[in-house]
Amino acid sequence: MTNEQPHIIKKKRHPLWRRLALQAIATGTALRAARGRIPATSDATRHTVLRKPEIGRPCILAAADDVYFGNFAIPLILSCALNAPETQIHIVLIRPSQQTLDRIEALANTLAPFRVSWSADESAIPDELAIKAIYYTSARFVFLPTLLDLCEDSVFCMDVDALVLKDIWPVYKAARGMSDIQLYARNERSASRRFMAGAIGVEPTTDGKLFSRALREALLSAFRLKPRYHVDQIQMNFLLQTLDRVHPIARSQVPVSLCDYEFYPNSAIWTAKGWAIKNSDQFQNALGSVMDGARARFGYQDKIDESA
């Protein structure tokens, strides 16, 4: 891992005026979505798809800047190739350097036929925010509508600082039923914590796409308020509060196995929430096992290692 220190957000809540403004944005967005007034694409996004996903195959979606790509996206991709080879994964690279683009292309070629696809997000929004990580945590949801249209299959959005330990789709499909979206709902009073953004499944149905487009628009509008705390979970909550009244969308609960922060041995995904957990012996050992396994099975060597 690099020695770059993350920005720690100390005040983990929005002031009242901003919460009210975020709620108004989400409410208006939900009403427009219910009337079919959210466009399929947005002029506010700056995505370039550099390698397309395979059509008709479920896909995992995550996002990373250059630092998180090296520290977490590479192990996540390798864990998928090792433990869930029937899936595919798409990484949104946030303003990637040429080195990062070279690394992901070399990695994808090494793992073929396992499918790795990626896109570059060149949005200027991070520069407009006091804390760039507020955009980074939402970047996958900004790209989500595009990915649904590209692959026309289930998309599972997850945090990039995680490892896939086994095929997620049998667990996902058993819990999904006939729902259009899968969310991890929590019994929390805080509007920012009622839904956990670290694990969300969306189907390429009419209502699944409606939700993804509405969430994208609610987030893009929220960034104009220059928030100093994350907006993905709170906007999800406010959006669904209105949609539940005017255009209910069938949803189911994401199983704990797909967003395990406690690292149970039989889970499909381990997610490292917080830097203390990321740096813990248990997670670091799991990362090491993935890297060792990838070297043994695929002959994997990072492009940076090759040039050292």
- pTM of the entire predicted model: 0.93
CATH of the domain at 86: 3.90.550.10
Q: What pLDDT is stored for residue 70 in this prediction?
A: 95
Please check whether residue 161 lies inside any domain of the structure.
yes
- Count of domains observed in the chain: 1
| In-domain check, residue 2 | no
pLDDT at 215: 98
What is the per-residue pLDDT for 6?
55
Confirm whether 6 is domain-assigned.
Answer: no
Question: Is 8 contained in some domain?
Answer: no
Residue 9 lies in a domain: no
Does residue 150 form part of some domain? yes
Is residue 5, in this structure, part of any structural domain at all? Answer: no
Residue 308 is assigned to a structural domain of this protein: no
Q: Partners of 92 in the beta sheet? A: 63, 119
What is residue 44's predicted lDDT score, i.e. its pLDDT? 86
Q: What range does the domain containing 271 cover?
A: 16-303
Report the pLDDT value the prediction gives residue 3, as an integer from 0 to 100: 44
Per-block average pLDDT, block size 10, for the chain (308 residues)? 54 85 97 95 92 97 97 97 96 97 97 97 95 95 97 97 96 95 84 82 97 98 95 95 97 95 94 90 95 96 63
